[in-house]
Amino acid sequence: MNKENFQKIINDNWDSHVKRYQKYISQPSVSNTGHGVRDMAHLLVEDFKELGCQEAKLYETAGWPVVYASLDVGAPKTILMYGMYDVQPVDGEIWRSHPFEANIIDDEEYGKIIVGRGARNQKGPLAAVVNAIKTILDAEGTLPVNIKFLVEGEEEMGSRHLPGVVEELLDEINACDCIFFHAFQASATEKKVKQYLGTKGITEIQIKFKGGDWGGPAERHIHAEYAIWVNNPIWELIKAFGTIKDKDDKILIEGFYDDVVGEIEGDAEVFDRLLSVWSAETWKKEYGVRKFKNNMEVRAALENYTFMPELNIDGIIGGYTGEGLKTLLPHDVTVKMDLRTVPNMDVEKTVGQIKAHFEKLGVMDRMEFSYTNAYGYCRTKQSDPAIQAMFAAQEEMGYTVQPWPCLAGSAPLGMFQKYTDIPIVTGGLGHAALPHSPNEFAVVETLKESEMCCILFIYKFAELE
């Protein structure tokens, strides 16, 4: 492997590499609405064919298709590149540059950045992987490993139909030696990079309080003057939800923490290393947060983030929220929540505990309760050789690795661990920010390091015994 030659090829072809980022990001693919999704899937199929994949096709589902491709060079090892090509909606958001034009603009803090939906989550990282593989092929004419791609179009919807495709492709997946989910995790201001060893599970919960036999307007909103003798579903929701957490934010649902195991084997070493390199102040500045809740110390904040479950309110929809005042008594109110699970929590059991809490309050007769178990938690030990190959690649690029036992966010990687024991590696270099937010961006100059790190990881994994 000639690292300098790879870097020269990246530099010499940088304009075309940047155009791939812009091509992916500028193509809308909003899975919740369908805007541009199928066009993005076909775009990837064509790119994988141009890369030299012997097989590149769509696996149709009841929702949006999964893109599968295979590039077999006869190598002893195979890496499965998992990715996603769908993005979040942009409706109602105000952007500094059109979210689907992928414009490169000058930023006062970061220099040149690509602005657009998917720049960080997850089209930018996917484009970096494709650019890295093409660089190796341009330099060597072949690869040190076989490559398979599995790129879904419903991750932002909870990967609803991915399990069926995974089951259909299980033989092909089990023939792989590693699953790699590339992400931009490097700091823009320090030579530090986050390396997550797993993710929490996520379950989407929706609860609707509405009027009916118990009280409240049973058919429609009515005038607010009648609130003196008619129950308000929004007040009923507030009273019920006020019993879920105490003043210190501890969840009061009976049995909620019973199966939480906290640290697993190898976590203590990882956690101590994380404490020595992570900066709470840098994180607060990046995310616009001035303090942790309950004035938590850094260690407690990290322990909760890493090892503890959470029940979060994502939004509440109900009543009148327009300009001025409209005096009404709402017929219904809906709350959307996400439940984050950790080892060894069982989703069905935990959801049952949540329902039992509302039953004890006597409010189930005024509620509609639904949930979707999007995906479970995922963990890979730091000692796994595949993880060590990524550490080595990042360190060779001059970065200090911040190992995190777990990302408090979620990804469908736990779905793979349900079917196989193949090690899963997430992460990489490159800096980007504001996923799911207006002005999502990636820092252009850091993308070169991202591609080079991918190349190094591929070679270091290929060299493992």
Given a cut of 80, whether residue 64 has pLDDT beyond it is yes
Q: Report d(CA 336, CA 372) in Å as an integer.
A: 12
Strand order in the sheet with 103-107: 103-107, 111-115, 441-443, 432-433
Mean pLDDT confidence for 162-170: 95
pLDDT of amino acid 409: 85
The better pLDDT of the pair 25, 465 is held by 25
Amino acid letter for position 286: E
If we measure between CA atoms, which residue out of 21, 76, 86, 79 comes closest to residue 47?
Answer: 21
b/e per residue 162-182 (b: at least 16 CB within 10 A):
beebbeebeebbeebbbbbbb
Q: 3-state class of 370 per DSSP? A: strand
Q: Report d(CA 56, CA 369) in Å as an integer.
A: 41
pLDDT of amino acid 282: 86
Q: Render pLDDT for 178-233 as a digit per residue (tens, 0 to 9).
A: 999 999 999 888 899 999 999 999 999 999 999 999 999 999 999 999 999 999 99
pLDDT of amino acid 321: 92
Q: Report d(CA 419, CA 398) in Å as an integer.
A: 36
Average predicted confidence (pLDDT) for the chain: 95
Q: Is the dihedral of CA 210, 215, 220, 222 positive or negative?
A: negative
pLDDT of amino acid 267: 85
If we measure between CA atoms, which residue out of 257, 258, 365, 344 comes closest to residue 304?
Answer: 257
Q: Render pLDDT for 120-160 as a digit per residue (tens, 0 to 9).
A: 999 999 999 999 999 999 999 999 999 999 999 999 988 98
Looking only at Cα atoms, what is the longest distance across the chain? 79
Given a cut of 80, whether residue 374 has pLDDT beyond it is no
Q: Report d(CA 119, CA 67) in Å as an integer.
A: 19
Q: What is the CATH number of domain 3-199+377-462?
A: 3.40.630.10
Asked if residues 188 and 282 have their Cβ atoms less than 8 Å apart, the reply is no
Percent of the chain whose pLDDT exceeds 90: 85
pLDDT of amino acid 451: 98
Given a cut of 90, whether residue 410 has pLDDT beyond it is no
pLDDT of amino acid 279: 87
Asked if residues 214 and 365 have their Cβ atoms less than 8 Å apart, the reply is yes
- Chain centroid, CA 176 distance in Å: 23
Asked if residues 200 and 342 have their Cβ atoms less than 8 Å apart, the reply is yes
User: What tokens appear for 323 in the block?
Assistant: 């300009």
Given a cut of 90, whether residue 278 has pLDDT beyond it is no
Q: Report d(CA 201, CA 159) in Å as an integer.
A: 13
Beta pairing class for 55-59 and 111-115: unpaired
Helix axes 298-307 and 267-277, enclosed angle (nearest 10)? 140
Asked if residues 107 and 204 have their Cβ atoms less than 8 Å apart, the reply is no
Given a cut of 90, whether residue 273 has pLDDT beyond it is no
Domain chopping of the chain, boundaries: 3-199+377-462, 201-262+308-375
Q: What is the CATH number of domain 201-262+308-375?
A: 3.30.70.360
Intra-chain end-to-end CA distance of the chain, in Å: 17
pLDDT of amino acid 130: 98
Q: How far is CA 22 from CA 94, 120, 129, 154, 341, in A?
A: 20, 12, 14, 21, 35
